[in-house]
């Protein structure tokens, strides 16, 4: 289904070091195997609309978040299971998530 996508490429140490500049709304987990972002919306409907948009982006990118939702809050952790750490796919999904968060007024 995603035969057109290249495999995930692990981030190099210099790319990991530059993540705070590239993705300022995300924090690196201890050990640098994952990044996290915590969001809050006006209500559950907005939070779930955001999650639906992210689900579509995840399918398109063939990269899926670890996440949880409580009412108006969504917590997201991104890591690449195939490589055991951060990859270019985490950056691509984080950028799509940031764009969706803006659209849904996080």
Residues engaged in binding ligand H2B (CB under 6 A): 2, 62-64, 80-82
For ligand H2B, the closer CB: 6 or 13? 6
With H, G, I as helix, E, B as strand and everything else as coil, classify residue 75: strand
- The contacts of residue 87 (CB under 8 Å, 6+ apart) are 8, 9, 10, 11, 80
Q: How far is the CB of 85 from ligand H2B (least distance, A)?
A: 10
Q: How far is the CB of 61 from ligand H2B (least distance, A)?
A: 8
For ligand H2B, the closer CB: 49 or 85? 85
Q: How far is the CB of 81 from ligand H2B (least distance, A)?
A: 4
**How many angstroms separate the Cα of 37 from the Cα of each of 3, 4, 5, 6?**
29, 29, 25, 26
């Amino acid at each position: 289904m995603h035969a057109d996508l290249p495999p995930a490429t692990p981030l190099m140490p210099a790319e990991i070091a530059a993540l705070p500049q590239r993705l300022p709304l995300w924090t690196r987990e201890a050990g640098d195997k994952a990044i996290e972002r915590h969001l809050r919306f006006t209500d559950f409907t907005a939070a779930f609309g955001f999650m639906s948009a992210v689900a579509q982006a995840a399918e398109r990118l063939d990269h899926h978040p670890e996440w949880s939702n409580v009412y108006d809050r969504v917590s997201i952790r991104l890591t690449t299971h195939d490589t055991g750490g951060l990859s270019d796919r985490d950056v691509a999904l984080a950028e799509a998530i940031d764009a969706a968060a803006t659209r849904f007024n996080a």
